Amino acid sequence: MKFAAILLCVALPALAEIDLSGSWTSKNHEDNMERGAGPNPDDWAGLPFNESGRAKALGFSQSIISMPERICWFQTQWHIAAGPFSLKIWSENDPLTGRILSWVIGGWETRAPMTIWMDGRPHPSKNAPHDQTGFTTGSWNGDTLTAYTTHIKSGYMRRNGAASSDQATITTTFMRHGDMLTLALVMEDPVYLTEPYILTRSYLSTPTPVAVAGPPCIVGYEGVEEGRVPHYLPGKNPFIDEMDKIYHIPREASLGGAETMYPAFREKIKDKFVIPPKCTRNCGAPGF
């Protein structure tokens, strides 16, 4: 009896929590194009950025990531939400007690795994260096794991120039239901956002192993001459009406802002929108 009680102490977590370890296939049934090939260059609809965020996005030229110092710009922690990648999750345990010290998430292309510290350590000083992975701590609420990431380098919210600052934080909530895992990711950024930017993503448990890490992002020369920073000057972005041309989505919607996230915004564009006669590109099925 005493032995059984000791076994229970060792084998069971102290509070309700659930095992997240394993390989998880990303189900890209939403935002499929945005997460794969990438968003349209002027599609910022539903993105709650402020005037600074919009101005930065409008000045963005895709060629900027050919610059050696910006070639890995996309690969911040937000890549887990904005990319199409499957996940590999495992725990690092204290070898003596078996206690989980951290959850580690790998599997997405060109960046290091994400470590979620579960041992109660504090976040570093606000003056500590920032990197693309940032610093993440986690805690359980029942079977729900909440991870909080700080100290991220400036990066992106959408791969069309919507930027995040080095003040951005990400809260990621892991909700497991049997063989299904849902992540809710909330980015807060006092520099470029007026409201939190929220995405949710779905994964299915798979027996097919997901690689722990993809090939790293390597800085290289791609032909951008020294001193040149690809950009568009204010008012000169040539793609500003592409969403209108392709999808009939008016500029006031494609330029984003918090109000474009809410149902009431539909009333503002209702009389300006006409259903396009036929999808002409990126139309999906079969095989999507």
Partner 1 sequence: MIAIALPLAAQPPGGGRGGPPMIPKAAAPIDLTGYWVSIVTEDWRYRMVTPAPGDYQSVPMTPAAIKIADAWDPAKDEASGDQCKSYGAPALLRVPEHLHITWQDDQTLRMDTDAGKQTRLFHFGDWKNPESAPTLQGDSVAQWEIQRAGPRPVNGSLKVATSHLKAGYLRKNGVPYSENASLMEYYDLVKERNGDQLLVVTIVVTDPTYLREPFIISSHFKKLDGDAGWNPTACSARW
Q: Which of residues 191-250 bind partner 1 (CB under 8 A)?
A: 196-202, 204, 243, 247-249
Please tell me the distance from the alpha carbon of residue 55 to that of residue 235, in angstroms, as a whole number.
10
Residues numbered 101-160 forming contacts with partner 1, rule: CB under 8 A: 141-144, 148
Q: Say whether residue 286 binds partner 1 (CB under 8 A).
A: yes
Nearest by Cα to 27 from 146, 285, 205, 243? 205
Q: Which is nearer to partner 1, 66 or 182 (CB)?
A: 182
Among 1, 2, 3, 8, binds partner 1 (CB under 8 A): 8
Output the smallest distance, CB 189 to partner 1, in A.
12
Q: Which is nearer to partner 1, 27 or 231 (CB)?
A: 27
Q: Which is nearer to partner 1, 148 or 213 (CB)?
A: 148
Q: Say whether residue 257 binds partner 1 (CB under 8 A).
A: no
- Residue pair 211/88 in contact (Cβ under 8 Å)? The answer is yes
Please tell me the distance from the alpha carbon of residue 1 to that of residue 156, in angstroms, as a whole number.
56
Q: Say whether residue 9 binds partner 1 (CB under 8 A).
A: yes
Structure tokens that stand for 164 in this block: 């995040």
Region of 49-57, 62-70, 212-220, 268-276 interacting with partner 1 (CB under 8 A): 268-276
Interacting residues of 113 by C-beta distance below 8 A, sequence separation 6+:
104, 105, 106, 107, 212, 213
Please tell me the distance from the alpha carbon of residue 259 to that of residue 200, in angstroms, as a whole number.
19
Output the smallest distance, CB 273 to partner 1, in A.
5
Please tell me the distance from the alpha carbon of residue 246 to that of residue 269, in angstroms, as a whole number.
16
